[in-house]
Amino acid sequence: MRFGKRNVKKPTDNLFVISLFSGAMGLDLGLERAGFKTRAAVEINNAAVGTMRLNRPKLPIVSKSIRDTTTYEILEAAGLCPGEVTVISAGPCCQTFSTVGKRRSVADERGGLFREFCRIVAEARPRFFVMENVKGILSAAKKHRPLDERGPGFPPLCKEELLGSALGLILEELGNLNYYVVFGLLNAADHGVPQKRWRVFFIGSRDGEDISLLRPTHYDPRAQETLGSLFRRRLLPWVTLRKALNGVHSEHWSEFTKERLELLRRLEPGQDWRDLPPHLHRRALGAALDSWGGRTGFCRRLSWDEPAPTLTTAPDGRATTLCHPTEGRPLSIEEYAVLQEFPRKWKFAGSIRQQYVQIGNAVPLGLGEGVGRMLRRVMRATAQTGLSQVNYRRRGLVVCGDAGLEERLANRKKTQLHPPHLRMNPDPEAAREWLEASA
């Protein structure tokens, strides 16, 4: 008697994703490019839900607050049981951690949404999780104190007000999930995305598998002297705005005010407010001229020969300007979508403003795809070798996957102060004593 080949499923056949805080699905589409399949999504924003329904009419969507959503509801929508989910992906609301916001951090109800993510991971027990957030999450404090209330003349900082205290809380709660967690900072341009966009990724493995951060596939040609020739030969140069937008037909964009457009027309590609005549600086920045920092988002015209900077949710905003290199308009919706690597046929619901917000908040597909490919490699390696006791002993560990970042985090300042001329007491010795008195 002869038998045919058995139809045995490979361990990597079932690559099921449940998406939380889905937005326009940037992270999920990236995972799908690596071979995963999105089985359900949770999203409360009406415009983002409309975008998903335009493009994925059969995708089960739980369109209500995640705080009011049980893990059972999500698993039922996906048709899965606890332990059957391959990846839970999430990008909890990031505005409260951003350095351009008020930085209320976990004190803001939106900043605490990562606890809902932890709740669902703890109950669904996916094999992996992928959570991303803004770079500012690395330095945010659990309790934010405005700059104008720091320094000599004010009470010393308490422990919750120190830089990085919010990250400490997040890492503690991720560790309590009993997953092996690797986190680090990734620049999208280093992974073939035509955008210099820094994002923090937290990647977890339920079974202690050998997960890692992504290795760069691209490099900054301007920094090639600092890279070894052998290393450089293995990488491609960053993708420039010129290359990315070649052939893109723009139809939809917002408009600059007449006053803003008059200033932008004075700038060449790659210039910003600092390249305007000094007598126009106040007009360009307003009260921000008396502040400090780079403020490069003010009155900015993009360069053709570099990747775009981080796409903001308002390219026509005064401090978040993303002006086309040669035209008198912000980057268009179509250009935004290309720079975030959305498929050309992907449609966005809502007003022009709502579309900018959806695309600007998305994870570039290249980053999601890179993480997905890494997870696929890990799964194949596990299928070949099996899990060892050493792997299981990793569970509960939370490690930084970048030695350089780990060192910077260990040596960071307690807080950021105004320059002396903006402080109530400009005396540097008084500032040193105040810092020493802080927790």
Structure tokens of 119? 């709740």
As to burial, measured by CB atoms within 10 angstroms (0-12 exposed, 13-18 middle, 19+ buried), residue 293 is exposed
Q: How far is residue 42's CA from residue 316's CA, in Å, rounded to a whole number?
A: 30
Confirm if 127 and 110 have CB atoms less than 8 A apart: no
Q: What is the dihedral of CA 154, 156, 162, 168, to 10 degrees?
A: -140
Cα–chain center distance at 118: 18
Q: How many CB atoms lie within 10 A of CB 252?
A: 13
List the Cα angle 225/230/236 in 5-degree steps.
75
Cα distance between residue 170 and residue 268, in whole Å:
43
- Rounded Cα distance between 151 and 166, Å, is 21
Owner of token pair 């001229």: 289
Of 264, 370, 270, 395, give the one whose Cα is nearest residue 317. Answer: 264
The C-alpha angle with vertex 165 and arms to 162 and 167, in degrees rounded to 5, equals 145
| Residue listed under structure tokens 């390696």 | 381
β-bridge pairing 198-205 and 128-134: antiparallel
**Which residues are tagged catalytic?**
94
Token pair 């966009």 in the structure block, residue: 197
Q: Which residues of 326-337 are buried (b: 16+ CB within 10 A; e: fewer)?
A: eeebbbbbbbbb
Strand partners, 184: 201
For residue 219, the cross-strand partners are 237
